[in-house]
Amino acid sequence: MRGTNRRDFMRSGAMLGAAVVSTGLASSEASARPKIAQPNGAGSKARTLGSGKNAIKVSYGLGLGCMGMSWNRSFVPDRNKMIVLIRKGYDMGVNLFDTAEAYGPFVNEETVGEAIAPFRKNVTLCSKFGFDIQNGKMTGGFNSQPKHIREVVNQSLGRLKTDHIDLLYQHRVDPNVPMEDVAGTVKDLIAEGKVRFFGLSEAGPESIRKAHAVHPVTALQTEFSLMSRDPLQDVFPVCEELGIGFVPYSPLSRAYLTGYINERTTYVAANDNRPTLPRYRLGSVIANWKIIDVLVKFGNQRGLTAAQVALAWLSAQKPWVVPIPGTTKLAHLQENLWSSDFEFTPDELASVTAEIKAIPIAGDRYPTPQTR
């Protein structure tokens, strides 16, 4: 397989990014930080999740997924470096940061909480509940019992060093707990000031409607990328009808759509879920490379990387789509943010979409269905 232009971008992007944000970076380690003016593009490209009193404005129309900074991506970066990265992201205009109790478990919330403490009031902090965790380990089950939701929120608030969570998601629908009970519990937490907005993750149309009837849902977070396009058919119509924002997780298909993963990539199975996913098996990695070819061909003519084309395509689907690509590298963060500068023409969007649709996707995204 041929390489993409991502590595070349990293070399030049790191220097360009440093020049763009040099003023902000000088104070990134300061103990107290004032609210800064957002760089050009951050505010002008802002998008809104949710509607009315339940709306959240997101700069660049992109958030920062923080999971991989401490969990589930093979290597574990230096924690202090990740704190610096999050703070530099803020200096660059990022104002939405996504974590969860399950990431680690727990350690990712601790890292994010420390990182955003100097500017906590100026950003949207997102976390999640819903998995069963015993003795610090994921059991593979779910737990959205109302009592447990309250316990999780109280514990998360401590780890996050804050008195409220801006956007609280149910991480997965629990088949053993009525959605009305889940939504009612979060509604009570909102009334108590511990949570501001309610979100769901991997919820199907029926679950979304049940939750929204109890308390307005601000955002649905579900896997969505050029390789995982099912949400367009099943949940997008419901989100549009009800005024719910959509947050794609794994918008770059766990780094595959960057061109960073190929048939030689190895994983640390103890800290990476990709070896368990059919789409990342050797045969699927090779078969799906045709998608990378489409992205590189289109991007090369417009000065874009494969990752930027993939992110811009997601944003082009609806104005209430806010991807949360994760990264552990400043150059990649800048690259992702710059994707918001590109807008497809109708003809370009139709052409790229048609080319992608013509490529059969090898491998399911998970071994078992996630959406309920």
Closest by Cα among 322, 356, 359, 318 to 337? 322
CA 54, distance to chain mean position in Å, is 19
Task: Name the strand (E) or helix (H) holding 355.
Answer: helix 346-357
Q: Which residue has the tokens 């088949």?
A: 175
Q: Is 103 a catalytic residue?
A: yes
User: Helices in 251-339 by DSSP H: which ranges?
Assistant: 282-287, 289-300, 306-315, 330-338
Task: Name the strand (E) or helix (H) holding 210.
Answer: helix 205-214
CA 25, distance to chain mean position in Å, is 24
Is the bond leading into 105 cis (omega within 30 degrees of zero)?
A: yes
Q: Is 262 exposed, middle or buried (0-12, 13-18, 19+ CB in 10 A)?
A: middle
Catalytic option among 103, 169, 249, 280? 103
Which regions of the chain does DSSP assign to beta strands (E)?
47-49, 56-58, 64-65, 96-98, 124-129, 131-134, 137-142, 165-170, 195-201, 217-223, 245-249
Q: Is 74 exposed, middle or buried (0-12, 13-18, 19+ CB in 10 A)?
A: middle
Give the DSSP letter string of 191-206: HTTSEEEEEEES--HH
Active site members: 103
